[in-house]
């Protein structure tokens, strides 16, 4: 978008299905009264819509605040005014050109990318935990992140895909993610073509370790220490390469992926009951698992290609949301992306301001937050997978 002109002056499952899904996974006692009351309030369409509206407003405020903060601080009012000028083609003062460039060209694509990645990681985490029926699953349990890292490392060290210019590393990461997904699928599929949740998890973990070993070997023999430092930093997560050129592709993949996942929310409810129960209810576990696995891998590959590996977001956010809205995936998939987007916007802000002018890797911050939260969540009385 060209800069503005300068002025002269300046499908929901029933409650019974959700309860059955929870009971099939755990024999935990009933939830504590406060959490139960919160879920009851959000069980209605009105309560859920109100919660989503509040989260959306929180996200918008967080985006404006995060765009204005940094080495050059811009007030929220001025930030909103400059953003509106950029979107509407309005005019700005001549003395605000530098500030406008910082706000619109540098910070805005970065903050929007953080929101998209946070939303995508949370939603894919919800889907994968249902697909493999494992409370410890997240978007990277299938080795997609490690495969993407190998692709990025290989491109950086060897100089491959040079014709793509600044997009070479991202393209290498995406290709690595697709290769990893294909290998996991081929290795975990049974002779009849079925996909067992346990085989998927075990194969994904094994492949991830193998890809990490390959990445370590490439880094060890890398002749350029600067390239090695950049690769190590990238594999821990960063939005430093965000630009308006990459944002549309990520936005399209994530938003379409969210819509498709929400469309299959009832299938996720049924898959959480187990394959035998799903089959008896008319849902093909293998067919849905293959399709949703491919979708989750594509979304994860796109996100890892532009942000690197970011841990714990896809693991913790689904559990936190289930504690409030229950285990029905239509509700979880409506709330979890918004919560993940808000969280990632603030994580990115801390990353680039806490030790400025240096930048902390995103994975370090999410781990420091995610580990104690996850441990506290697991120790919470009465909580297990499924929001109980």
253-267, pLDDT tens digit by residue? Answer: 999 999 999 998 998
DSSP summary character for residue 7: P
Contact assessment for residue 320 and residue 373, using Cβ atoms and an 8 Å cutoff: yes
In the numeric block, which tokens belong to residue 253?
A: 């993949």
Q: H-type helices in the chain, by residue range?
A: 15-25, 33-43, 45-68, 76-88, 97-100, 108-132, 144-158, 168-188, 197-220, 225-235, 247-263, 265-271, 275-280, 285-307, 313-325, 329-353, 362-379
Q: Which residues are bridge partners to 92 per DSSP?
A: 6
pLDDT value for 259: 94
Taking phi over 0 as left and psi of -120 to 50 as alpha, with beta for the rest, 302 belongs to: alpha
pLDDT value for 230: 65
Over the stretch 207-242, which tens digit does the pLDDT of each residue have? 989 988 888 888 787 766 666 666 776 678 889 888
Give the pLDDT band of residue 30 (cuts 50, 70, 90).
very low
* Cβ contacts of 141 within 8 Å, gap of 6 or more: 128, 132, 134, 201, 204, 205, 208
CA-CA distance, 39 to 41, in Å (whole number)?
A: 5
CA-CA distance, 2 to 21, in Å (whole number)?
A: 51
Over the stretch 326-358, which tens digit does the pLDDT of each residue have? 888 999 999 999 999 999 999 999 999 988 788
Contact assessment for residue 81 and residue 67, using Cβ atoms and an 8 Å cutoff: no
Q: Which whole number is the average pLDDT over 166-195?
A: 80
In the numeric block, which tokens belong to residue 74?
A: 């811009």
CA-CA distance, 164 to 170, in Å (whole number)?
A: 10
- State the maximum Cα–Cα separation within the chain, in Å, rounded to a whole number: 74
**DSSP-derived 3-state class of residue 339:** helix
Give the pLDDT band of residue 193 (cuts 50, 70, 90).
low
**DSSP-derived 3-state class of residue 92:** strand
In the numeric block, which tokens belong to residue 256?
A: 């379409």
Over the stretch 56-113, which tens digit does the pLDDT of each residue have? 999 999 999 999 998 889 999 999 999 999 998 888 888 888 999 999 999 999 999 9
pLDDT value for 178: 84
- Does the pLDDT of residue 361 top 80, yes or no? yes
Contact assessment for residue 242 and residue 113, using Cβ atoms and an 8 Å cutoff: yes
Residue matched to tokens 């890892």: 304
pLDDT value for 32: 40
Among 4-13, 27-36, 330-339, which range has the highest average pLDDT?
A: 330-339
pLDDT value for 311: 85
pLDDT value for 36: 52
């Amino acid at each position: 978008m060209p800069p503005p002109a300068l002025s002269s002056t300046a499908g929901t499952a029933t409650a019974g299905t959700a309860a059955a899904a929870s009971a099939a996974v755990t024999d935990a006692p009933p939830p504590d009264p406060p959490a139960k009351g919160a879920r009851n309030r959000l069980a209605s369409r009105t309560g859920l819509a109100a919660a989503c509206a509040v989260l959306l407003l929180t996200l918008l405020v967080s985006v404006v605040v995060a765009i204005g903060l940094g080495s050059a601080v811009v007030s929220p009012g001025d930030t909103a005014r400059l953003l509106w000028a950029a979107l509407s083609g309005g005019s700005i003062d001549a003395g605000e050109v530098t500030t406008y460039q910082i706000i619109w060209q540098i910070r805005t694509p970065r903050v929007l990318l953080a929101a998209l990645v946070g939303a995508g990681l949370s939603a894919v985490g919800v889907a994968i935990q249902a697909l493999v029926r494992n409370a410890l699953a997240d978007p990277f349990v299938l080795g997609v992140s490690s495969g993407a890292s190998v692709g990025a490392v290989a491109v950086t060290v060897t100089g491959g895909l040079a014709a793509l210019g600044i997009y070479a590393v991202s393209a290498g990461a995406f290709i690595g993610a697709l290769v990893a997904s294909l290998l996991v699928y081929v290795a975990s599929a049974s002779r009849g073509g079925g996909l067992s949740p346990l085989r998927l998890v075990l194969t994904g973990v094994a492949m991830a370790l193998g890809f990490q070993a390959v990445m370590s070997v490439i880094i060890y023999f890398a002749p350029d220490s600067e390239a090695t430092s950049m690769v190590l930093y990238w594999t821990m997560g960063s939005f430093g390469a965000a630009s308006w050129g990459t944002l549309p592709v990520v936005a399209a993949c994530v938003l379409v992926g969210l819509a498709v996942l929400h469309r299959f929310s009832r299938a996720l409810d049924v898959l959480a009951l187990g394959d035998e129960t799903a089959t008896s209810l008319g849902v093909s576990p293998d067919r849905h698992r293959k399709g949703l696995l491919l979708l989750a891998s594509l979304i994860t590959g796109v996100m890892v290609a532009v942000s690197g590996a970011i841990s714990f977001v896809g693991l913790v956010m689904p559990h936190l949301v289930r504690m409030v809205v229950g285990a029905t995936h239509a509700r979880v998939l409506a709330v979890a992306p918004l919560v993940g987007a808000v969280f990632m916007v603030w994580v990115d802000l801390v990353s680039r301001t806490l030790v400025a002018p240096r930048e902390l890797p995103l994975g370090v911050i999410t781990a420091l937050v995610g580990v104690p939260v996850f441990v506290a969540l697991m120790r919470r009385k009465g909580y297990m997978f499924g929001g109980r």
